[in-house]
Structure 1
Amino acid sequence: MTKRLARRAVLGGGMAGGLALAGLGGGSARAAGGGESRRAGGVGGEVYVPVVAGAGGGPVGSDRVHVLKVGPRDAETVVVLVPGMFGAANGFRLMARDLVASVPGVQVWALDRREENLADRTGFGSGAADPVGYYLDGRYRSLEPASAGYVGRWGLERALDDLRCVVLAARAGGRRRVVLGGHSWGATSALAYAAWDFDGRPGYRDLAGLAVLDGGVRGAFEGTGTPVQDSPEEVRERLAAIAGGRVLDMTLSGVGLGDRAESTQIWYQLAGWYAHHDPDGRSVLQDRVPAALRVPFPVTNAALLGSFVDAGFGWPNDISVHSGRLAPAGDGEGVRGWVDDGITPIGRVAQAYAGPVPGVWEWYWPARLSVDLDVSDAYADTDLARTLGLRLRHAAGLDIPLYAFQTSYSKGTVVESARRVVAESRVPYAAYESDDGMNHLDPLFAATAHNTATRTLAEFLRRVAGSTGAR
């Protein structure tokens, strides 16, 4: 989802100012838990299934990942998409539907990492009457870092070994071609997979193409204002913190919606759940929103979600979209609703965020994975990479096509970095696309007609499918 939350304050001038402007401007499933979740109809149907992975030292049931599959089972091309930091599979569902509808013979697999097994989403399941009480009153099952030392070992090696289980399943013994992609740090993960050494076999030999969405390596995040932290001194400090028990990345607690690793993610899903099920009803959550983030007048469930995700409320680029605005005062007996006048309708955000399974936001992100992904930015077999067990040995050998897309988030450095990767490898051709009218999350949820990322990625996939056999 996001690489790293922008370091500017969201509880002070940025967020408060956005709320003030928004307030005064006025005119401008099924139960969580087991088995398989299915959606009938559509373009080939949708299923959410487990994939067995290697032993990771976690609790029973955690040695697996999950995949949301969208599109025909007999597709000759499978697009495997990896979410970014704190992202989860449902963040790709709408994009997947658009791609499958646009490109014949394509199926999309969206990955949920093994960390997703640790989240308790039962409060959103079928028949749930009071999800807000279940989660905000602390009745859900939470992960205590003191009892989760195994998460401190879930770094990039573990993540890529898990991802390979998915890629190999998608390849079906070489009968299908696989295009591997990702969003934000998911793009970094996809590129790392391609350069990784799997017992002497380069990862790119499993693939027919790469798709980088608003992330990557070789300085992709330089333009965001939060470049990677990969000096030896920074890495030593971060590893020491992990060894001392800080096994979870706490970045999202900076939003101000709670101080637990999962607090912000729960709030976002709650907001999406109510906005999806009763968009025009008075907000169920508003009175419980922390005062610093609360809209100072009654709003609907849809408008409350809008205040959490829209860029007009002062949220950083990496966690926001261009959706719309609050309805003028006086509508709906004093309860203000939401007006869609952006590229990403709030109903699409709500549909994705509501879940329940899979979700959009991963609850528990391993701090070690953050370290490893930062170090992977060099995209080379450096001394530091070898010390961390990162087998990035084959970047120069990449011989598959690459697609790169950037929004306003990176101020141009995503495409610049992709060009470096191409120049330093044997990539046969590349497509570079940009849309500065998008924020970091817009490509995931924007309306089909306004989604530059989906349209241009579909063009790339048609070219790959038309020129490449299964590898």
Structure 2
Amino acid sequence: MTKWPARRAVLCGGLGGGLALAGIGGGGGSAWASSARSGSGGGAGRAGSSGGAGEVYVPVAVGAGGGPVGSDRVHVLKVGAPDAGTVVVLVPGMFGAANDFRLTARDLVASVPGIQVWAVDRREENLADRSGFGSGFGSASESASESAGADPVGYYLDGRYRTVEPASAGYFGRWGLERTLDDLRCVVLAARAGGRRRVVLGGHSWGSTTALAYAAWDFDGRAGYRDLAGLAVLDGGVRGAFEGTGAPVRDSPEEVRERLAAIAGGQVFDMTLSGVGLGDRAESTQIWYQLAGWYAHHDPAGRSVLQDRVPAALRVPFPVTNAALLGSFVDAGFGWPNDISVHSGRLAAEADGDGVRGWVDDGITPIGRVAEAYAGPVPGVWEWYWPARLSVDLDVSDVYADTDLARSLGLRLRHAPGLDIPLYAFQTSYSRGTVVESARRVVAESRIPYGVYETDEGMNHLDPLFAATEHNTATRTLAEFLRRVVGAGHR
């Protein structure tokens, strides 16, 4: 979702940082193992369950990765008609997961006839224990009785959930871009259905980098772009896409050696999100975000269940509703960095009769849409465990060329000059223009027939994922691009 490692100061004025929350930790054991035994609620979800008309969340088998038994699969959230002639495969960014794209997917399939959207959950999602949020596929399918019976705050903040310890996850140090792209190829080939359907591959933030890397990748002599009819880049990419964020990629040989040495020494998880101040474990912040979304979705006007347990440095100093608590976690007005915030609204100026302040939507991204996405339970919005090796590989991929350093890491970026499919690129205020600049470079240095470049400076990095349909410039312009691709396929 975000493009975070060493790319900016973690927190702005007064919200600052790095506070460890003693109440979040979790018991020992494998997160995967419990969900596999129970058959529901964990990262695996319920294959084939429906979260609404035309929505399913299903597993796709992938190659062996050395993780726990049963982790050799990815999952795909499919939205839209299964007989669609074009499949749009979307890859979430850093710490992102498939539910990033559920609202986007609904908007796209409603706007563009003949497409289905597949949102990808990487194999890392098998390790998350989401059982504390109740069973079922997505918030849309969860009944009121299931909601009322769940107690996620106790399960997670009292440390009863199952976590993954770095010391027992050496395999995670080998889950880099090669592993990710091999897995993604299984998804793309399934979407192609033997060539009977077209595939447009895209992503958000580092998911855009991943999609472009796929297009340039050499799969046993076949260029990745040969599988595709188009590319869609949302606020990310290669060739300097993130330069405008103020913190360039860390891809010098010296930095790469240091980062690989740290991974070899056991630092297999990327710990960037711990800097938010919601806990010092790899999964702490992600759990807090989902908890805030879950309560805001199920009881938005109720007094916040979480407020008294929020670290003091991040706590609003008066009683607020569940919706307002979520707003204080995600809205740009609270000083959060661009890449983890949206333009949603503000705290109500006046308290209700019980002295509790609610949330006022006056931005492009209503807090209810954020809550619906964040709540899950499966799929989720935030990936619990992000491989530090994947961060290294994606940084090195920014040059988008078959360099000595790339080859030394096993990165087969051999086909960028040959790209011959159309490219869509969208940027927010996040990159100060470098996302589109980098996309233009990719087009100029390849055989891409045309590029479509769109900008909305009124958006922050996460707004394109959750903004109201009528305010979402990204989905509107992406739909126009997809209609062009679909139309070309019919000629």
Alignment TM class, shorter chain as reference: over 0.9
- Which deviations, in whole Å up to 9, do the C-alpha atoms of 1:181-239 show, x marking residues without a partner? 00000000000000000000000000000000000000000000121000000000000
- What amino acid does structure 2 have at the position aligned with 1:39? S
- Which deviations, in whole Å up to 9, do the C-alpha atoms of 1:118-171 show, x marking residues without a partner? 000000014452100100011000000000000000000000000000000000
- What amino acid does structure 1 have at the position aligned with 2:278? L
1:328 positional shift: 1.1
Tell me, yes or no, if the aligned pair for 1:79 and 1:178 is still in contact at 8 Å. Answer: yes
In structure 2, the residue corresponding to 1:39 is in which secondary structure?
coil
Find 2:67's aligned residue among 58, 65, 68.
58
1:7 positional shift: 2.7
Does residue 402 of structure 1 match 2:423?
yes
Does residue 199 of structure 1 match 2:199?
no
- Which deviations, in whole Å up to 9, do the C-alpha atoms of 1:394-450 show, x marking residues without a partner? 000000000000000000000000000000000001100000000000000000000
Distance (whole Å) between structure 2 residues aligned to residue 117 and residue 458 of structure 1: 31
Tell me, yes or no, if the aligned pair for 2:286 and 2:383 is still in contact at 8 Å. Answer: yes
Counterpart in the other structure of 2:337 = 316
Does residue 102 of structure 1 match 2:111?
yes
- What amino acid does structure 2 have at the position aligned with 1:156? L
- Which deviations, in whole Å up to 9, do the C-alpha atoms of 1:233-256 show, x marking residues without a partner? 000000000000000000000000
Distance (whole Å) between structure 1 residues aligned to residue 45 and residue 234 of structure 2: 31
1:468 positional shift: 2.6
Find 2:366's aligned residue among 345, 349, 361.
345
Counterpart in the other structure of 2:296 = 275
- What amino acid does structure 2 have at the position aligned with 1:191? L
Q: Map 1:208-357 onto structure 2 (within 5 A).
A: 208-357=229-378
- What amino acid does structure 2 have at the position aligned with 1:394? H
- What amino acid does structure 1 have at the position aligned with 2:8? R
In structure 1, the residue corresponding to 2:269 is in which secondary structure?
coil
TM-score norm. by structure 2 comes to 0.91
Distance (whole Å) between structure 2 residues aligned to residue 34 and residue 434 of structure 1: 36
The 3 A distance-change label for structure 1 pair 413 and 14 is: farther
Find 1:91's aligned residue among 87, 96, 100.
100
What is the identity percentage for the equivalent residue pairs of Structure 1 and Structure 2? 86
Q: Map 1:124-139 onto structure 2 (within 5 A).
A: 124-126=133-135, 127=146, 128-139=149-160
1:14 positional shift: 4.5
Distance (whole Å) between structure 1 residues aligned to residue 269 and residue 354 of structure 2: 44
Tell me, yes or no, if the aligned pair for 1:81 and 1:181 is still in contact at 8 Å. Answer: yes
1:332 positional shift: 4.2
- Which deviations, in whole Å up to 9, do the C-alpha atoms of 1:69-96 show, x marking residues without a partner? 0000000000000000000000100000
The 3 A distance-change label for structure 1 pair 99 and 131 is: same
Does residue 185 of structure 1 match 2:202?
no
Distance (whole Å) between structure 2 residues aligned to residue 404 and residue 40 of structure 1: 30
Counterpart in the other structure of 2:127 = 118
- Which deviations, in whole Å up to 9, do the C-alpha atoms of 1:341-367 show, x marking residues without a partner? 000000000000000000000000000
TM-score norm. by structure 1 comes to 0.95
1:333 positional shift: 2.4
Does residue 411 of structure 1 match 2:432?
yes
The CA RMSD over aligned residues, in Å, is 1.4
The 3 A distance-change label for structure 1 pair 34 and 437 is: closer
Tell me, yes or no, if the aligned pair for 1:14 and 1:315 is still in contact at 8 Å. Answer: no
1:16 positional shift: 6.7
Find 2:464's aligned residue among 421, 443, 446.
443
Does residue 386 of structure 1 match 2:387?
no
Counterpart in the other structure of 1:2 = 2
- What amino acid does structure 2 have at the position aligned with 1:210? L
Does residue 432 of structure 1 match 2:453?
yes
- Which deviations, in whole Å up to 9, do the C-alpha atoms of 1:251-282 show, x marking residues without a partner? 00000000000000000000000000000000
Distance (whole Å) between structure 2 residues aligned to residue 60 and residue 186 of structure 1: 26
1:113 positional shift: 0.1
1:15 positional shift: 2.5
In structure 2, the residue corresponding to 1:465 is in which secondary structure?
helix
Tell me, yes or no, if the aligned pair for 2:41 and 2:129 is still in contact at 8 Å. Answer: no
In structure 1, the residue corresponding to 2:487 is in which secondary structure?
helix
1:330 positional shift: 3.0
- What amino acid does structure 2 have at the position aligned with 1:443? P
* Structure 1 residue runs of 4 or more that deviate by more than 6 Å after TM superposition: none
Distance (whole Å) between structure 2 residues aligned to residue 129 and residue 352 of structure 1: 18
Distance (whole Å) between structure 2 residues aligned to residue 422 and residue 37 of structure 1: 39
Tell me, yes or no, if the aligned pair for 1:177 and 1:469 is still in contact at 8 Å. Answer: no
Counterpart in the other structure of 1:174 = 195
Does residue 144 of structure 1 match 2:176?
no
Distance (whole Å) between structure 1 residues aligned to residue 431 and residue 405 of structure 2: 26
